[in-house]
Amino acid sequence: MAGQGLTGSYFLAVVLFSGILDASLPVLQLRAVVGEIFIHELEREGFLDYFTDHSELSSDPPITFHANLLDHPDLPQWLRYIQRTPFQTGYLYGSATDREIGTQTIEVTAYNRDTYETVRQTLVISIVPSPDGEMPYQADFFVKNWNVEEVLPTEVHELFQQAVDSMWEQEGLVVVNISSALDRGGRVPLPIENRKEGIYIKVSSKDPFTECLTEAKSSENLHRCKLEQQPVITCYDSFSPRFRVDWCNLTLIDLTDVNATEMVTVFGDGVLEPGPEFNPPEDAPDRLFFYDFLLTFLLPLIFGLLLCLILAYIMCCRREGIYRRDMKTSDIQMVHHHTIHDNTEELREMSSTRDVPRPLSTMPMFNVRTGERINPMQNSRYDSAQVPLILAQQ
């Protein structure tokens, strides 16, 4: 019993300890060069030893990572993270730009997905400018048969670099950027074996493009691309079969051109240059508004007065209007009288000569269904007014 209690309290102490101190790996110092791909592997093995729970169940536990800039929720813009499954290596990768020169501290948290234990690691990345200076000639390749995390191990992207080397003879070739096609609008491939997302690899050099590279952009090949045919390139053998480069999606960027024309932004001191000020004209000609006044006030007034006069004349002097011209008032009354009289006479005559029987429906006591007619006088005993409403009470 005492032994059990001891182990129990020991376990509690470990849990408390790990809770308070949060197991963490030693701080790692890293270096990133502007304009070159930076890759850091988050190896599962490195973190495994720091998890305190070594039960048999989790001898090879699934581990996932979370990385963020210190005191921030997410990674800096230039850095990306990928881990395909919890049983594979995670990668931090990206390409820093001039704006990021300095030191950045990245916090990595590893989660044991079986025990929910966490282990922390701090990475201090010093970002330094490129020692080689500018590399103005850049080529962006689209490789169809790789996933991004497969290319990130050094030996793989060095193979690719060698393949480019044989095409583009120059001094030093640098891989600038590696990104998944998914980051650039690509589609997730169907879950069929050997279908890959595809990657974009950008390499840069000090030396201009060779004919081998520019060949892919010849007008003839561009036309073939439009027809969805493979362009004809004489020296692309160095890539296949390992790297299936889509030559139609090759982008060649010549920064020397761009720099000379567009990229140069000149910032002013924020103060407007002194220039000619606006001088208001001193002697504007006087304008006469009298006629405008007459037009807007007097014209409607005169028009209104005229209407008033006409109306007054009609009301006072010509009150009886049209009738007066032809006949006297008594004549009109006589016409009215005669019309009414004649109409009444006519109606009387019409009613006396009527010999059509009255419609059945107007007869009293007419049965609608049988058409039977009962003389209301004979059945006066059954006058509805004398029949009790509720028979059962009789």
Q: How far is the CB of 164 from ligand NAG (least distance, A)?
A: 17
Chain length of the chain: 394
Cβ-count burial 314-347 (b if 16+ within 10 Å, e if not): eeeeeeeeeeeeeeeeeeeeeeeeeeeeeeeeee
Fill in the per-residue mask, 203 to 242: x = in contact with ligand NAG (CB under 6 A), - = not in contact: ----------------------------------------
Q: Is 138 in the site for ligand NAG (CB under 6 A)?
A: no
Rule CB under 6 A: choose which of 89, 121, 177, 205 binds ligand NAG. Answer: 177
Residue 158 neighbours by CB distance under 10 Å? 12
In the chain, the amino acid numbered 98 is D
Q: Is 142 in the site for ligand NAG (CB under 6 A)?
A: yes
Residues 70-99 that bind ligand NAG (CB under 6 A): 95, 97
Stretch that binds ligand NAG, among 42-50, 154-162, 173-181, 369-377 (CB under 6 A): 173-181
Output 238 or 249, the one with its CB closest to ligand NAG. 249
Output 112 or 221, the one with its CB closest to ligand NAG. 221
Q: What is the DSSP letter of 69?
A: E
- For the chain, strand residue ranges (E) read 28-33, 37-42, 63-69, 79-82, 90-95, 102-112, 118-128, 137-143, 173-180, 199-205, 251-254
Output 121 or 205, the one with its CB closest to ligand NAG. 205
Q: Is 259 in the site for ligand NAG (CB under 6 A)?
A: no
- Per DSSP, the three-state class of 142 is strand
Residues 39-68 that bind ligand NAG (CB under 6 A): none
Stretch that binds ligand NAG, among 16-24, 103-111, 183-191, 341-349 (CB under 6 A): 183-191
Count of residues of this chain found to bind ligand NAG when the rule CB under 6 A is applied = 11
Q: Is 184 in the site for ligand NAG (CB under 6 A)?
A: yes
Q: Kindly tell me the sign of the dihedral angle through the C-alpha atoms of 214, 218, 224, 226.
A: positive
Q: Could you tell me which of 95, 84, 42 has the C-alpha nearest to residue 65?
A: 42
- Per DSSP, the three-state class of 212 is helix
Please report, as ranges, the residues that interact with ligand NAG according to CB under 6 A: 95, 97, 142, 177, 179, 181, 183-184, 186, 248-249
